[in-house]
Chains A and B, each alone.
Chain A
Amino acid sequence: MAQHNPWPDEGNTGHIWDEDIRELDNPPPLWWMLAFYAGFIMIIFYALYYPSIPLVNDHTKGLAGWTQIVEYKDDFKVLNDWRERTFADKEERLASLDVTEILKDDELRNYAIATSKVLYGDYCMACHGAGGQGNPNFPVLANDDWLWGGSIKAIEATLINGRVGNMPARGMMGNLSDEDVAAVADYTIALSEGRADDASVAAGKAIYAGKGMCMACHGPAGKPLAPTGATNLTDQIWRFGGTPGSDLRDEVIRTITNGVNVKKDGQFLAETRRAEMPSFKERLPDADRNIKRLAVYVHQLGGGQ
């Protein structure tokens, strides 16, 4: 900062840098000052009108009682009212029609799908994946393998009542030895590969139909006679296992050895497969319409029948 001031009459503050950069003491323009004072006055009104001053456990409420959340809720109500008004007709038809009819009605079907995305994300996605791709131990919804039936009615029933899988450990009577289990496992893998009549799996085939009584649920040819929750063993989809990185035979042996949802003394077996779909009748808001909506949505994920 320069010591001497070559511009004494200019009204500078005496702060001079680099020979000639100096700080002047000019008043701001009048309009600017007026706006500045107006801003101060505004603060007083603002502080009185809106919730603004923090107190120890609370804050001042303001003269208007305005809060963001109330405004948000009001706005949301406007939006919701608009939705209800605009889609009242469609919602009504959704409630009155049967799911099969909804599926046939192009417009209603599209409406059901479009309005299901959030519901699906909230209630289904955690287990079944964003696009119905499933998760380890949670069934894929986008394929055509349906344990409980893939018709729209069956999907709706699954959503309403939920489904609990049930497979006894070590065969129907629980009497299979480890060797028996391994033989049956080899046979089931052969079934899905189309080699069911191979001599190498004849032992497993015999246990499947005889000692293990597997055919009671899975059907004499490895295909359940009705969709009752038993898997189709002849197809290429594995309800448990078959995920990349796991050994298929080990997985199948584990399933046969420990069963599905098998309890001992009121406790689930440590290694038993868990397969339980809860009922959504109580869980979903407005279940009547939303179950139909979701049934249509799941039906179109890729495998609906």
Chain B
Amino acid sequence: MSDSKKEAYRPKIHTGSVLDDVTVHSKTLDDIGVEILPVHAGGTIHAKRIAGKFRTFKWLVASIWIILFVGPYLRWNGNQAILWDLTNRQFHIFGLTILPQDIWMLAMILLFFALLLAASTAIAGRVWCGYFCFHTVWVDVFTWLEEKFEGKPGKRIKLDAEPMSWQKVKIKLPKHLAWLFIAFMTGFSFVAYFVDSFQLWARLVNFELGYYEGMTIAVLAGLTYLTAGFMREQVCMGFCPYSRIQGAMTDTETVMPTYDRDRGEPRGRAKRPKPGEETPELGDCIDCRMCVDVCPTGVDIRLGQQFGCITCGLCIDACDEIMEKISKPKGLIRYAAINEFAGKELPPIWRRPRVLVYTSIMTFAAAAMIWGLATMSPIEVTVLKERAPLFVQMSDGSVQNKYTVKIVNKSESVMHAQVTVTGHNDLIFIADRVADVEPGNVGSVGLLVRIPRNKLTLESTPIEIMVTDLNNPQIVDRYTSVFHGPKR
């Protein structure tokens, strides 16, 4: 590589803010720092695929996504094991049925994973983006298929440049069919979590898909085909908010794939010195550009950590392979924190405040979830108190309050729900019936409570309304309400 070309790389190595190098006296867009971030803008990226330990790791992690495609066909007691039954407002997860009343647990699950994302990012950068994000995984599989059908990157670039011909279509078509198949399966599997999967297949082959399920499958399949097939790294850079948020969640103690600039620079290929010529002092980087060639988002890691980098570690594989070939120690690009390069020692993970805060919130969310599941009652009672009128004077001198008791049956069998009331010695109650509540339904009982006016000591007396399932007497729920009387 010529010296002038080498020079061209130099000013791009930013250590501080990009604004440090910006000249502001002449105020054109180029000069005030707009879009000088190093972004690949040269069309489709055809990254090389090479073996290595991060490559293996990526495949292993990506294979977890197979569960998405298998999940809808799992059965439990003859029913679909995982079914988000929106029509009946019931969520079945194996033996567990969750009704909307318990949906706060879903919030806990979301909280847990949100904080897991934060914690993992604080420790090791964008591991979600690099290894597990469905977009990364789908793009990885799509490009793998592309290589199978169309050959290595060089061949693909040549093919892309060719004018459209029957020959080109013949090469390209199978790839698109394979992509479309995966895209369709993605959309279909997603929808199959919301309706019975086998019936969905039956409706599909008979062309009887409903509007909403059909549209959802079509839209998801279309988007998968478009984003994983064509948009690729542009999704991460232009669409995805998480990539930007996570970039801001790393700090100087976060380990991320980093180019060891002190060791690598000045980069260049060592030439055999001609007689009388001085050997230039070169770093370990031979400027082979392998790290750029393998990068799925087309960034140059040697420019430092940047928003285009999804920290997938493929450049580490590539660089290590080269280092091995030229008999230099591995790890010119490696997982390291900025503080390590500054000579500071990294504190252990459990002594980093952010990690501690994140994990304690995660523990809280997990504990709440376990508590919620453990104490999930098969019955839920809510009592609505009549407010117009708050109370009524009865002819025998007692005061009457009216309530509506709502009984949610979250169990699998019919409930025969009996309402009883306690809370005052002279209290009389009349429940209009013993309600039969079907599983997953809500039953309602009208309730009248009377207390003699002269026995009332408070304007509002706390009372406890208890509902017992007579079919299964250990199922009981209590609700604390108030009994209103006249002002005293």
Contact = CB atoms under 8 A, between A and B. Distances in A.
Contacts of A110: 444
A302 B388 contact: no
B275 interface: no
B392 A302 contact: yes
Interface string A92-121: 000000000000001000100000000000
B392 A143 contact: yes
A302 B400 contact: yes
Interface in A246-305: 300-303
Contact of A236 (B389, B394, B433): B394
A237 B389 contact: no
Contacts of B395: 143-145, 232, 235-237
Interface of chain B: mostly helix, strand, loop or mixed: loop
B133 to A, nearest CB: 33
Contacts of A132: 389
B7 to A, nearest CB: 32
How many of chain B's residues touch chain A, expressed as a range? Answer: 10 to 19
Contact of A302 (B387, B444, B448): B448
A4 B394 CA distance: 91
Contacts of A301: 402
B386 interface: yes
A151 interface: no
A140 interface: yes
Interface centre among A143, A232, A303 (most CB of B within 10 A): A143
Nearest to A235: B395
B174 interface: no
Contact of A131 (B387, B433, B446, B448): B387
Contacts of B393: 140, 143, 236-237
A131 to B, nearest CB: 4
B397 interface: yes
Contacts of A130: 388
A237 B387 contact: no
Contacts, number: 57
Interface in B307-362: none
Given A144-B394, A145-B395, A129 B448 contact: no
Interface residues of A, number: 21
B398 to A, nearest CB: 9
A133 interface: yes
B388 A131 contact: yes
Given A142-B402, A300-B432, A236 B397 contact: yes
A235 B388 contact: no
Contacts of A142: 389, 392, 400, 402
A20 interface: yes
Contacts of B389: 129, 131-133, 140, 142
Contacts of A106: 433
B428 to A, nearest CB: 12
Given A20-B27, A302-B400, A302-B402, A131 B394 contact: no
Contacts of B20: none
Contact of A143 (B387, B400, B453): B400
A258 B453 CA distance: 31
Interface string B401-419: 0100000000000000000
A303 B394 contact: yes
A142 B400 CA distance: 9
Contacts of B448: 302
Contacts of A237: 393-395
Interface string A10-41: 00000000001000000000000000000000
B396 interface: yes
Interface in A129-149: 129-133, 140, 142-145
B392 A140 contact: yes
Interface centre among B395, B402, B433 (most CB of A within 10 A): B395
Nearest to A237: B395
10 contacts: A110-B444, A130-B388, A131-B387, A131-B388, A133-B389, A142-B392, A143-B394, A236-B395, A302-B386, A302-B402
Interface of B: 27, 386-389, 392-397, 400, 402, 432-433, 444, 446, 448, 453
Given A20-B27, A236-B397, A303-B400, 19 more contacts: A129-B388, A129-B389, A130-B388, A131-B386, A142-B389, A143-B392, A143-B393, A143-B400, A144-B396, A235-B395, A236-B394, A236-B396, A237-B393, A237-B395, A300-B432, A302-B392, A302-B400, A302-B402, A303-B392
